[in-house]
């Protein structure tokens, strides 16, 4: 079984049925973040179901069809990674992860996933590692991107959750692509990975699906203080400073006007020129506004500056569902 240090304070090691009490306490802490995305999280509610979840993975492990590992930070279980599917006959496996709030910001998931991918390719001779994520789970798709995976496509309305159908994104990395050029998964992975991270945090700040609380205040940390955001969805552009952009949207996402909302990139192209950069992206979004379900798409253009504190956004403009202005 794989056991590995992740840093001086964190360790990756197998999760087994005898650890069910610790696992249950952890899932209770993690539930607000992981319940919408991890199928067994909503089913693991007491000691019996926690034991059953870990026993299922123990059975998969004994058959060489799957595995589950915990991430301990300073001796406390804060998350984990798992092979939900491990098919040696086809050489294809599927990797997943979860993390409670106390484990965030340390790069633990990235390092743990790297360890499992290394093991799958070098020790077990697998050919393809897949990563499946809800299209609205921007943290998960950001992890796939940091691991150097390629987005293979979207399976539309693949599964139901709380009365709504959700899209699934499929990402993958092949043995001949590992490790990725430039090691994009490392904490110091470079300019492009940092810009990817800022874009993911921006998109994720709006999410209020599954009981998540949107936090648009994080946008202030992503932009330079003088940043501007422009809506060009009508005939005349609306130019906003950060206050004018954040405050009405935070209110709408928390007062019940706009619920079960998420927005995510489906493609992006970033160009970097010394200390300035530009990103052009296509995005999709879905939610319920005033009780009416909707879906949409559009395009964003974002400019970045390299500052003493790192890359920051300086301006952004977007257009929903491209249209022509009257001539």
Q: What residue ranges of the chain have pLDDT lower than 70?
A: 1, 181-190, 322-327
Please report, for residues 129, 194, 258, the alpha-carbon distance to residue 68 in angstroms, rounded to integers and kept in the order given: 15, 29, 36
CB atoms within 10 A of CB 191: 16
What confidence score (pLDDT) does residue 185 get?
Answer: 38
pLDDT number for residue 156 = 92
- The pLDDT score that the predictor gives to residue 116 is 94
Please give the pLDDT value at position 190: 66
pLDDT of amino acid 323: 38
Helix/strand/coil for 157: strand
Q: What does residue 65 show for φ and ψ, rounded to 5 degrees?
A: -115, 0
Tell me what pLDDT residue 187 has: 32
pLDDT of residue 4: 81
- Strands of the chain, DSSP E: 4-5, 10-14, 67-73, 76-87, 92-99, 128-134, 150-161, 164-174, 223-231, 238-241, 258-273, 276-289, 292-307, 310-320
The per-residue pLDDT for 188 is 34
How far apart CA 121 and CA 128 sit, in angstroms, is 8
pLDDT in tens, 98-139: 999 899 888 889 889 999 998 999 889 999 999 999 888 888
pLDDT tens sequence across 131-146: 999 888 888 888 898 8
Residue 279 pairs in a beta bridge with 270, 302
Full set of structural domains in the chain with CATH: 4-177 (3.40.630.30), 191-320 (3.10.450.50)
Q: How far apart are CA 173 and CA 124, in angstroms?
A: 15
The per-residue pLDDT for 6 is: 83
């Amino acid at each position: 079984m794989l056991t590995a240090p992740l840093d001086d304070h964190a360790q990756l090691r197998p999760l087994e049925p005898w650890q069910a009490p610790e696992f249950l306490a952890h899932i209770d802490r993690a539930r607000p973040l992981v319940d919408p995305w991890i199928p067994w999280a909503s089913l693991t509610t007491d000691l019996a179901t926690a034991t059953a979840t870990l026993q299922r993975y123990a059975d998969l492990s004994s058959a060489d069809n799957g595995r589950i590992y915990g991430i301990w930070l300073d001796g406390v279980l804060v998350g984990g990674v798992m092979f939900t599917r491990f098919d040696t006959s086809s050489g294809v496996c599927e990797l997943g992860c979860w993390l409670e709030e106390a484990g965030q910001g340390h790069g633990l998931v990235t390092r743990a996933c790297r360890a499992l991918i290394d093991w799958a390719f070098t020790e077990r001779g697998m050919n393809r590692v897949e990563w499946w994520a809800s299209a609205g789970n921007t943290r998960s798709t950001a992890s796939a991107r940091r691991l150097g995976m390629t987005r293979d496509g979207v399976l539309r309305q693949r599964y139901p959750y709380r009365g709504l159908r959700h899209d699934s994104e499929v990402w993958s990395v092949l043995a001949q692509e590992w490790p990725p050029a430039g090691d994009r998964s490392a904490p110091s992975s470079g300019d492009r990975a940092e810009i990817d991270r800022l874009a993911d945090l921006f998109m994720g700040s709006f999410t209020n699906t599954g009981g998540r609380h949107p936090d648009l205040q994080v946008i202030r940390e992503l932009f330079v203080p003088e940043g501007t955001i422009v809506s060009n969805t009508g005939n005349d552009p609306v130019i906003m400073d950060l206050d004018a952009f954040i405050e009405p949207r935070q209110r709408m996402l928390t007062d019940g006007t706009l619920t079960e909302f998420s927005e995510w990139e489906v493609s992006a192209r970033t160009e970097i020129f010394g200390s300035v950069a530009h990103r052009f992206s296509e995005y999709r979004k879905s939610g319920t506004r005033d009780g009416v379900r909707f879906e949409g798409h559009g395009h964003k253009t974002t400019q970045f500056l390299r500052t003493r504190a790192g890359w920051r956004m300086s301006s952004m403009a977007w257009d929903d569902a491209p249209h022509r202005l009257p001539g």
